[in-house]
Amino acid sequence: MKIYLVRHGQTEWNLETRMQGALDSPLTPRGRKDAEKLGEEIKDLPLDKIYSSPQGRALETAKILKGNRPIPLVQKKDLRELSVGLWEGKIFEDMVKLHPKEVHRYLYEPHLYQPEGEESYYDVYERVEGFLEDLQKTKDQAVLVVSHGVTINALLNVMEGIPVKDFWKKPLVLGTKLSIVEEKDGCYHVVKRADPVGDLNY
């Protein structure tokens, strides 16, 4: 199976460096334009299905990428973004000042990041492992997966056997850029990892 992974397009909160998590904000004009450009680039890819996070920013991106193609667009809760609770909707740098210890763990000690009542990186790994197990049970030969920065990082890390403590060994990928993975008998080969983000507003 070929798996094409795409992070959603740029959102208004990306521009404002606000943490999104389980909350949402709409795509910016750039985000929609980038998705349209990628949609044109992949219009001839033979896809059996598109799987998307049900969150608005990912789903809007997925619909743009699907275009008029008569293929199923399946929403999967396991592809949603890591929830960051009280940080959601807040400016990232403000959270660094207000919660330095917690943000440090979030960024540099992910295996120790365990906010009360919220998801840990281990929880996200468990989610994406469940998604991959379900995917292997299908007869799909090629699929497009539209999700979020942390979740796609988790998917790629699980595929490459990278443990939670090394979660940030490879940075988040840019929005609307393709990562390509080949799967055979439950083994994964990451052919291409999308370009990394260069700043906080994407």
Give catalytic residue positions: 8, 148
Alpha-carbon distance of 26 to 18, in angstroms, equals 13
CB atoms within 10 A of CB 137: 7
For 29, the token pair is 């004009």
Rounded CA separation 97/41 (Å): 41
Tokens of 128: 């994406």
Q: Are 180 and 40 in contact, with CB atoms under 8 Å apart?
A: no
Q: Round to whole Å and give the CA distance between 160 and 148.
A: 18
Residue with tokens 């609307």: 176
Q: How far is CA 190 from the centre of its chain?
A: 15
